[in-house]
Amino acid sequence: MSTLRDLAEEHTALRPADIDHLHRIAGDWQLLSDLSFADLLLWVPVDGDGTFLCVAQVRPTTAPTAYLDDQVGRIVGGAEVAHLEVAHRQGRIWREGDPVWYGDVPARHEAIPVRLRTGDGEAGEVIAVVGRDTNLSTARTPSQLELNYLTTADDLAQMIADGTFPPPRHPGETTSAPRVGDGLVRLDANGKVTYASPNAQSAYRRLGYASHLVGEDLAKLHRRLAGDPLEGTDAGNAVLAALRGEAPPRREIDARGATMLTRALPLMPAGVPIGALVLVRDITEVRRRDRALITKDATIREIHHRVKNNLQTVAALLRLQARRVAMPEARVALEESVRRVASIALVHETLSLSSDEAVEFDGIVDRVASAATEVAATEVSVGMRRRGTFGILPAEIATSLVMVLNELLLNAVEHGFPPADEEAAAPADAPRPEAEVTAPRPEVVVTAHRARKQLHVTVTDNGRGLPEQFDAERGGNLGLQIVRALVTGELRGTIELRNGADGGTEAAIVVPLARGTTDRLTGRAGPP
Ligand SMILES: Nc1ncnc2c1ncn2[C@@H]1O[C@H](COP(=O)(O)OP(=O)(O)O)[C@@H](O)[C@H]1O
Ligand SMILES: [Mg+2]
């Protein structure tokens, strides 16, 4: 479906600033729809031919809709839009028509011109028309609440025609604004409550205010509730600002363990400040959940941090021991253990810095890879490259996979490019044909890509290849045993070891990502 902007750009001569204003209206008009008990349709005149195009629509949450079908994208001319034409041409609210019928739904049509104020605050030209269409099939004598809503709706409708509604946005307001149904308070020009909806009354009661709101000075009440009668509190000042005709940001009041979100709007039809509208919502539960999540998150990060520290301590102890043993084999074994432990510590370090149980794995691979090159014999310098991206991996996969890659990378460096003397000692029939003539630069390449919920990883070197008669299925020492156990066990994947196409060794791993894994872009857990 086309967006408001697409539609307006395709069919009208509206300027970007006009379209921005229409976006602001569509972002804030649920309020007017709910207070009006009516559907709102945003119509723009199609360039030059007397027809109107519907670019946005909102249904009331307080009443039945007049339109079961979506109206966005409709282009209409003639009698059906005559009232829009009047509002557009004369720049006034049109509301004098008889009910019309949509199928068997009787409806009342009204039309509100939309003005965009000029830079110097003058009411500008009419750029669009808001159709306000009420389903009359359930209409009856309105209750007191309904009368109050309708009066306020008319004030806001006039402000749309004046170009003073919607008020400017405050950047960074992420919590959704309170809605009409959450709680509504209307104030007169002196800041006294003239009407409070039952939900608003209940929300204030939760903050500890038990009497009736009508007649109260709301700014003073906010200060009292916030326990700060002298200093101006934010929620108190917001009310005063709205009474002055400004549009303050949303504010919260905390009292008695409850939290209420407030949004104060000026009411100034025809430019005359006649009071304010304050929407309130009890957000105690939302805040409680936020706090619980934050502490849980912080605890998990702290635990990863401690696990990392403990693993680093273990690695340091092993390193100390390695220095003390005389037997070379024992020393090598201990040094290998140091690297294994350190590679797991790397995953926990990354987890301790991230906000969810998933890690950006590329950075980890690069660090393990560069640590592996240091193991290369001093006279051989091995290049490391990564192609493709691992993306974001869940912690369980990351911890096993980093161990696997650590072993494979170390093998490539250690066994693919042995020091010169060892190579000389190798049997004369060792498979290294023209290698000495062309002498390719020693290199290890790690590739990663995702396809069909699988992660495909290869570790390829251009070294001397696997020993002859090497059993690729079962052969090897502790290193390859660890690799096979982790890949087929923890990771439920497959691994294949083979000689590379042009010499060297290639290890190919496929790991399924489907079950409880993480989406590559968002890092959020996918459906189980
Ligand atoms: N990339 C490789 N290039 C050449 N030989 C390899 C490679 N990877 C493994 N191998 C061979 O497989 C053997 C087993 O490796 P591994 O199980 O990791 O034990 P270790 O590294 O302790 O020897 C190595 O000794 C080596 O002969
Ligand atoms: Mg090894």
The reply to whether ligand 1 has any atom less than 6 angstroms from the CB of 178 is no
pLDDT tens figures, 185-223 = 999 999 999 999 999 999 999 999 999 999 999 999 999
At 183, list the tokens: 């709680």
The number of residues in the chain equals 528
User: How far apart, in whole angstroms, are the C-alpha atoms of residue 272 and residue 162?
Assistant: 11
Respond yes or no on whether the N-terminal peptide bond of residue 166 is cis (omega within 30° of 0): yes
Round to whole Å and give the CA distance between 199 and 11. 43
256 CB-side CA count, 13 A: 12
As to burial, measured by CB atoms within 10 angstroms (0-12 exposed, 13-18 middle, 19+ buried), residue 124 is middle
Tokens of 435: 């290698």
Which token pair is 412? 């490539």
What distances in angstroms separate CA 351 from CA 197, 298, 347, 515, 518, one per listed residue?
Answer: 48, 11, 6, 20, 14
* For the chain, counts of helices (H) and of strands (E): 15, 18
Bridging pattern class, strands 52-58 and 75-76: antiparallel
In this prediction, residue 458 carries a pLDDT of 96
Q: What are the Cα distances from residue 192, in Å, to 185, 239, 401?
A: 10, 11, 66
Instruction: Please give the number of the atom of ligand 1 that sits closest to the Cα of 476.
Output: 14
Quick: pLDDT tens for 485-502: 999 998 999 999 999 877
Q: How far is the CA of 412 from the centre of ligand 2 (A)?
A: 8
> Ligand 1 atom 13: the closest Cα is on which residue?
476
Q: Is the pTM of this model over 0.85?
A: no
Minimal-distance CA residue to ligand 1 atom 12: 476
Residue 528, pLDDT above cutoff 60: no
Q: From residue 513, how far is each of 167, 183, 316, 516, 526 by CA, in Å?
A: 47, 46, 34, 8, 10
If one counts every other C-beta atom within 10 angstroms of the C-beta of residue 37, the result is 21
In percent, how much of the chain has pLDDT > 90? 56
Q: Provide the token pair at 97.
A: 């028509």
Q: What is the pLDDT of residue 174?
A: 61
CB of 76 closer than 8 Å to CB of 100: no
Return d(Cα 325, Cα 482) in angstroms, integer: 24
Cβ–ligand 1 distance for 444 under 6 Å, the answer no
Distance (Å) of CA 116 to CA 25, 198, 378: 11, 35, 73
Which residue, among 264, 265, 258, has the nearest Cα to 287 in the 3D structure? 258
Q: Which of 375, 411, 432, 474 to mutate to test the pocket of ligand 1 (most atoms within 8 A of CB)?
A: 411
* Residue type (1 letter), 209: Y
Of all atoms in ligand 1, which is nearest to the CA of residue 459?
1
Q: What pLDDT, on the 0 to 100 scale, is given for residue 519?
A: 43
Please tell me the distance between residue 470's alpha carbon and the centre of ligand 1 in angstroms. Answer: 10
How far apart CA 364 and CA 392 sit, in angstroms, is 11
Q: Which of 203, 195, 236 is nearest to 218 (CA)?
A: 236
- The answer to whether the CB of 418 is under 6 A from ligand 1 is no
d(CA 520, CA 499): 31
The two beta strands, 383-388 and 443-451, are: parallel
Going across the sheet that includes 275-282, the strands are 193-196, 184-188, 275-282, 258-267, 251-255
Centroid of ligand 1 to alpha carbon of 477 (angstroms):
7
Residues near ligand 2 ion, CB 5 Å cutoff: 411, 479
Q: Who has greater pLDDT, 227 or 435?
A: 227
Residue 521: pLDDT band (50, 70, 90) is very low
Residues 430-457, buried b or exposed e (16+ Cβ, 10 A)? eeeeeeeeeeeebbbbbbbeeeeeebbb
From ligand 1's centre to the CA of 361, what distance in Å?
25
Residue 364's Cβ-count burial label (10 Å; 0-12, 13-18, 19+) is buried
> 239 in ligand 1 pocket by Cβ < 6 Å?
no
Q: Which ligand has the shortest distance to the CA of 480?
A: 1
pLDDT at residue 132 above 70? yes
Please report which residue ranges of 103-143 form alpha helices under DSSP H.
Answer: none
| Nearest ligand, measured from the Cα of 382 | 1
In 342-481, at which residue ranges do the beta strands (DSSP E only) sit?
A: 358-360, 383-388, 392-394, 443-451, 454-461
Instruction: Judge if the beta carbon of residue 97 lies within 6 A of ligand 1.
Output: no
Q: At what angle do helices 328-353 and 361-373 cross, to 10 degrees?
A: 160
Q: Which residue has the tokens 């905390």?
A: 254
C-beta of 415 in contact with ligand 1 (< 6 A) = yes
- Pocket test of ligand 1: the residue of 415, 444, 466 to mutate, having most ligand atoms within 8 Å of its CB, is 415
Burial of 296 by CB count in 10 Å (0-12 exposed, 13-18 middle, 19+ buried)? exposed
Residue whose CA lies nearest to ligand 1 atom number 8: 411
Query: What pLDDT is attached to residue 229?
Result: 61
At position 510, the amino acid (one-letter code) is V
Q: Two tokens at 348?
A: 């926990």
Distance in angstroms (rounded) separating the CA atoms of residues 134 and 37: 7
Query: Does the beta carbon of 461 lie inside 6 Å of ligand 1?
Result: yes
The per-residue pLDDT for range 300-350, each reduced to its tens digit, is 888 899 999 999 999 999 999 999 999 999 998 999 899 999 998 988 998
CB of 467 within 6 A of ligand 1: the answer is: yes
- Model pLDDT for residues 425-473, shown as the tens digit of each residue: 555 555 555 445 556 788 999 999 998 899 999 999 998 899 888 887 8
Residue 372 has pLDDT above 70, yes or no: yes
Quote the mean pLDDT of the chain: 87
